[in-house]
Amino acid sequence: MTPEKPFRPLSESELAVLRQIAGEDHVLVAPADLQPFSHDWTEDFVFPPAAVARPRTVSEVSRILAFCNERRIPVTPQGGRTGLSGGALPLLGGLALCLDRMNSILEIDEKNAVATVEPGVVTQTLHEAVEALGLSYPPDPASRGSCTIGGNLAENAGGPHAAKYGVTGKWVMGLEAVLASGDVIVTGGKTRKDVAGYDLTSLLVGSEGTLAVVTKAWLRLIPKPAARAVLVAPFATLEESMAAVVEVYRRGLVPAACEFVDRPATEVSSKRKGVTLPFPEAEARLLLEFDGGGDEEVERDVTRAGEAALDCGALDVVVAADERRMRELWEIRRGIGEAVRDLGHSSELDVAVPRSELAALVRGIREIASEAGFSSVAFGHAADGNIHVHVYGPGSGEAGEELFRQTARKIYALAASLGGTVTGEHGVGITSRDCLSFCRNPAAIAAMRAVKDALDPRGILNPGKLFPPLSEHGEPR
Ligand SMILES: Cc1cc2nc3c(=O)[nH]c(=O)nc-3n(C[C@H](O)[C@H](O)[C@H](O)COP(=O)(O)OP(=O)(O)OC[C@H]3O[C@@H](n4cnc5c(N)ncnc54)[C@H](O)[C@@H]3O)c2cc1C
C-alpha cells in the first residue's frame, strides 16, 4: 500500500517548537527510535513518521495540535499500536502523537463506580486495579495486555465479553479531548444521566483518531461477577454450531462470552501450543462463558446451555468452573491471534453479520478464498456475529497483492449482502476504507465527511483513514 499524498517531513524549526512543548527527550527523530512507531499489528505495513512526540499533559497535547494545525502537519495519535486496521500508521509521515506517557489511573471512585483515566493506561492495568476493589470494567479486547484505553475508545473496541456487556462505548460516561485547533472539550463526566445537547461522547468514541485526541475518560464500572463457568462444545458442522448459538439465546440465556473457532483456526492454534484436542475433525467449536452473582445461578445457566448445544448436535460438552481449567479451555481461542502470524503473509478481515447469517458467511468466505487459490481461518465473537478472518496462501508481488485485495473486497461485499458490515470492532482504518460504501450509503458517508470537515477543517488528524479516497471529481469512489 502506498500513500496517496507525499511524505510530510518536519523542518528543524518545527522540531524545535515540538521539543520546547514536549521536552527534549520526548521528541524522537532518529530512524531507529522511529521504527516502533512505524507499524502496528496490521499485516506487514510500515509507515514511518517524520517524528514522534510523547506529551505528558493535556496542555502539551493542546499546544502541539494548535501548532501542527497552523503548519498543516499531519498528526497520527497512537496508543499501544496493537490495532488491526492500520489506524495508528502515520500514513503521510508528519507527527506520531504517542499518548503512552499519559498513563495514570487518576481515580477509582467506588461510591459512584466510575474510573477516571488517562488514555495511555493499558487496559489490563485498569482491569486489575478495579478488580482489586471488587469492581469490573468489562470491555476486554484480547490484546488487553498491550492495548490502551485511548486506542479502545478510538476503535470502540469489543472483545469476547461484549457478548453480554457490549463494546467500549457503552462504558464511557464522558471524555476530555483536544480538537485539531488545540481547543479542549469535555463531553460528560461522572453524572449518570446527562442529555445536554449533542452526544459528543458517542461521536468521538469510534472516530479512530480522526476527530480529536482523547486525553481523559470517565468510565463506568460494575461489581465484579462473583461466579463464572466455561463450556466448550465441538460440532461436526458449521451450521450446527451456529444453530446452537441461536438456540442458547432463544432459551433466554445470556452468555458473558460466546466464541466461535473453525477447524482451520483450531488446527493453527493447537499446533502452536503443541496440544491435540478431542474431536480434531470437528468443523467448529463454541466456547461459552457464563457469569453471575453466585455458583448456583451460573451452574444452572451453563447446564442449560450445554443441553441446547447437545440438542443442536454438539459432539460433546466440556464444562469447567475452576480457574485453572477455565484458563485451559480459553487457551486455544486466546492463542489464535498470535498463532495466525505463523500462517505467513495473510490478509485479516473483521466482518460482522446478523447472528443467524454466520454459517452462510463462513461458508461463503471459504468459497471466495479457495476460488482465489487461498485458504482461510475464521474465529471470533459468535454472539455478536463478528468473525475475524485470515486469508492466506501464495501471493507475492503486485499481482499477489492485488489478488489479496480482490479477495478481501469480495468478502466485505458478502458480509454486506448478508445485512452486515465491513468491520465489527477493529475499525475501518486503511483496511476497509475502500469498502465503507458497502455498508454506509453516500449520504451517510457525506454526513461523516461534514463532521470531519467541521471539527478538523485542515484535515491534520489521522489523514488517509476511515474515508474512501476522493475521486478526481470530489466524489467518494
Ligand atoms: C492479538 C490481538 C488481539 C486483539 N483482540 C481484539 C479484540 O478482541 N477486540 C477488539 O476490538 N480489538 C482487538 N484487537 C485490536 C486492537 O487491540 C484494538 O483495536 C485496540 O483498541 C487498539 O488499541 P491501541 O492502544 O493498541 O491503539 P492503537 O493501535 O495505537 O491505535 C488505534 C486507533 O486509535 C487511535 N488512538 C489511539 N489513542 C488515541 C487517543 N488518545 N485519542 C484519539 N485517538 C487515539 C489511533 O489513531 C488509531 O486510529 C486485537 C489486536 C491484537 C494484536
53 within some domain = yes
Clarify whether residues 261 and 288 are in a common domain.
yes
What DSSP state is assigned to residue 144?
Answer: T
Ligand 1: does its nearest atom lie under 6 Å from the Cβ of 157?
A: yes
Last residue of a domain, one of 73, 98, 123: 98
Q: Which domain holds residue 239?
A: 227-337
233 and 324 share one domain: yes
**Same domain? 72 vs 91:** yes
Residue 117 covered by a domain: yes
Q: Using CA atoms, how far apart are residues 387 and 369, in angstroms rounded to an integer? A: 15
78 lines ligand 1 (CB under 6 A): yes
Q: Which atom of ligand 1 is nearest to the CA of 337?
A: 1
- Among protein residues, the one whose CA lies closest to atom 34 of ligand 1: 151
pLDDT(216) > 90: yes
Is residue 345's pLDDT more than 60?
yes
- pLDDT of residue 476 exceeding 60: no
- Tell me: do 114 and 93 sit in the same domain: no
Residue where one domain finishes, among candidates 45, 66, 98: 98
Q: Show Cβ contacts of residue 286 under 8 Å, excluding neighbours closer than 6 positions.
A: 231, 232, 233, 235, 241, 244, 245, 258, 259, 260, 309, 314, 382
Instruction: Give the sheet arrangement for strand 346-352, strand by strand.
Output: 318-320, 227-235, 284-292, 257-262, 375-381, 386-392, 346-352
For residue 154, give the ligand 1 atom closest to its CA: 34
Query: Residue 183 belongs to a domain with what CATH number?
Result: 3.30.465.10
Is the C-beta atom of 90 inside 6 A of ligand 1? no
Confidence label for 84 from pLDDT (cuts 50, 70 and 90): very high
pLDDT tens digit string along 372-390?
999 999 999 999 999 999 9
- Which residue from 180, 173, 64 is spatially nearest to 455, judged by alpha carbons? 180
pLDDT at 90 over 80: yes
Q: Is residue 445 part of a domain?
A: no
Q: Is the pLDDT of residue 39 over 50?
A: yes
Q: Is 12 exposed, middle or buried (0-12, 13-18, 19+ CB in 10 A)?
A: exposed
Q: Do 281 and 316 have their domain in common?
A: yes
140 and 74 both lie in a single domain: no
C-alpha cell at 388: 475475524
How many C-beta neighbours within 10 Å does residue 247 have?
Answer: 16
CA geometry: angle at 356 spanning 437 and 156, to 5°? Answer: 50
Whether 167 and 207 map to the same domain: the answer is yes
Residue 477 above 50 pLDDT?
no
Q: Which helix (H) or strand (E) holds 328?
A: helix 323-339
What is the sign of the dihedral through the CA atoms of 406, 408, 412 and 418?
positive
Distance 21 CA to ligand 1 centre (A): 26
pLDDT of residue 393: 86
- What mean pLDDT is reported for the chain? 94
Question: What's the pLDDT score for residue 461?
Answer: 98
**Max CA-CA distance within the chain?**
70
Is residue 47 assigned to a domain? yes
- Rounded CA-CA distance 194/173 in Å is 9
Q: Give residue-wise pLDDT tens across range 323-339.
A: 998 988 898 888 888 88
Considering only 44-58, 68-82, 316-330, which range has the smallest mean pLDDT? 316-330
Neighbouring-strand partners of residue 389? 349, 378
Within this chain, do residues 218 and 234 fall inside the same structural domain, yes or no? no
For cell 470530489, name the residue.
474
Q: Is the pLDDT of residue 57 over 70?
A: yes
Asked whether 243 lines ligand 1 (CB < 6 A), one says: no
Cβ-contact 222, 253 below 8 angstroms: no
CATH number of the domain encompassing residue 319: 3.30.70.2190
User: Which CATH number goes with the domain that contains 73?
Assistant: 3.30.43.10
Q: Are residues 374 and 329 in the same domain?
A: no
Q: What distance in angstroms lies between residue 237's CA and the mean position of ligand 1's atoms?
A: 33
Residues 142 and 245 in one domain: no
Cα separation values, 230 from 134, 265, 395, 401, Å: 21, 20, 39, 40
Q: Looking at the predicted structure, is the pLDDT value of residue 267 above 80?
A: yes
Ligand 1 pocket mutation pick from 155, 167, 421 by most atoms within 8 angstroms of CB: 155
Residues comprising the chain, all counted: 477
Banded model confidence at residue 474, pLDDT cuts 50, 70, 90: very low
- What's the confidence (pLDDT) of residue 335? 87
Measured CA to CA in angstroms, residue 388 lies from 265, 430, 460 at distances of 10, 16, 31
Is the shortest distance between the CB of 177 and ligand 1 below 6 Å?
no
- DSSP H helices, 41-122, are 58-71
Q: Does the pLDDT value for residue 293 go beyond 90?
A: yes
Residue 468 has pLDDT above 90, yes or no: no
Q: What pLDDT is recorded for position 43?
A: 87
* CA gap 41, 385 in Å, rounded: 23
**Ligand 1: distance of its center to the CA of 170 in Å?**
17
**Does the Cβ of 88 fall within 6 Å of ligand 1?**
yes
Is 215 in the same domain as 271?
no
Q: pTM for the complete prediction?
A: 0.96
Q: For residue 174, report the phi and psi dihedrals to the nearest 5 degrees.
A: -175, 160
Does residue 146 share a domain with residue 87? no
Q: What does the block give as the cell for 338?
A: 498470535
Q: What is the dihedral of CA 298, 299, 304, 308, to 10 degrees?
A: 90
> What distances in angstroms separate CA 467 from CA 153, 156, 373, 448, one per listed residue?
19, 17, 30, 9
Report which of residues 419 and 338 the model is more confident about: 419
Distance CA 417, CA 84 (A): 23
398: domain CATH number? 3.30.70.2740
pLDDT reading at 2 higher than 90 = no
**What tens digit of pLDDT does each residue of 130-184 get?**
999 999 999 999 999 999 999 999 999 999 999 999 999 999 999 999 999 999 9
Q: What is the dihedral of CA 301, 305, 310, 314, to 10 degrees?
A: -130
Ligand 1 pocket test: pick from 56, 104, 143 the residue with the most ligand atoms within 8 Å of its Cβ. Answer: 143
Mean pLDDT, rounded, for 436-465? 97
Tell me the C-alpha distance between 64 and 60, whole Å: 6
Distances in whole angstroms, Cα of residue 19 to Cα of each of 14, 89, 92, 109 = 9, 22, 21, 36
pLDDT tens column, 226-259 = 999 999 999 999 999 999 999 999 999 999 999 9
pLDDT of residue 341: 79
pLDDT tens digits, 116-143: 999 999 999 999 999 999 999 999 999 9
Residue 400: which pLDDT band, with cuts at 50, 70 and 90? confident
- Residue 195: the pLDDT is 96
**Contact status, residue 102 vs residue 120, Cβ threshold 8 Å:** yes
Q: What percent of the chain has pLDDT over 90?
A: 86
Q: How far is the CA of 146 from the centre of ligand 1 (A)?
A: 9
Confidence of residue 265 (pLDDT cuts 50, 70, 90): very high
> Could you tell me which residues come within 8 angstroms of residue 107 by beta carbon, excluding any fewer than 6 positions away?
114, 115, 116
Number of structural domains, the chain?
4
Burial of 61 from C-beta contacts in 10 A (0-12 / 13-18 / 19+): buried
User: Of 98, 126, 160, which marks where a domain is finished?
Assistant: 98
What is the distance between the alpha carbons of residues 230 and 239, in angstroms, rounded to a whole number? Answer: 22
